[in-house]
Amino acid sequence: MTDDIDIPEDTRRSRLPKPHAQVMDEEFVTAWERFAEFREQYPNGCVEATLDRVIEHPDGHVTYVMTAAAYLVRPDFGVVARPDSTGWSQGSTKDDNPVIAGSPIESAETIARSKALKNLGILDGSKPAKIREPRTDEQIGADVATARERAGMSQKELAGAMTERGFKWSQATVSQIEKGERPLRLTESDHLAEPIRFRT
């Protein structure tokens, strides 16, 4: 009696969460992109992962739970610092994904680190990756001056620190760079990260 009734096809998307394996595949694909973007934006940052617990199941398979913490600036040795974001993941020897099942600890570590970066806003899908505009020598110099002052160093002290790293800098060199009269070379900017936490 109901054979002649046309029922429209339901084209709505399911609100149920994605299958675990599909979510993990997406995390693997974007993890390396997040790591690269994080390194670009925060060259002095770090992401640490820790094995939180190991769960041994009655049927013999094992689940490893990893937690990760992301820091915009790597904490000094021995200093307790609050992470800027955290994430966690688990990997099981019985996972549907053969990559995770074969390397559950490594998989959980990668995904936990990636989630910590995602929670930090690195390629989290809410906005496109930041495209950096070219900066003038004056802008870079002003940033060097700000970083130096924040570190509590004089121009002469910074020149000495760079000389120790193999660059022939004088107080005049620092002054010229900070005024934008002399460009800061890429190799030099890499060495400014340690004494004054400067990053381009």
Closest CA to 132 of 58, 37, 55: 37
Q: What is the pTM of this model?
A: 0.52
Cβ 49 vs Cβ 109: under 8 Å: yes
**What residue ranges do the domains of the chain occupy?**
20-119, 137-196
**Which CATH number is 137-196 given?**
1.10.260.40
Q: What is the pLDDT along the chain (200 residues), one digit of tens a residue?
A: 555 666 565 555 545 444 444 444 455 457 888 888 898 888 888 999 999 999 999 999 999 999 999 999 888 776 777 888 999 999 999 988 888 889 999 989 999 999 999 888 888 766 554 545 667 889 989 989 988 998 899 999 999 999 998 899 999 999 999 999 999 988 888 788 778 877 66
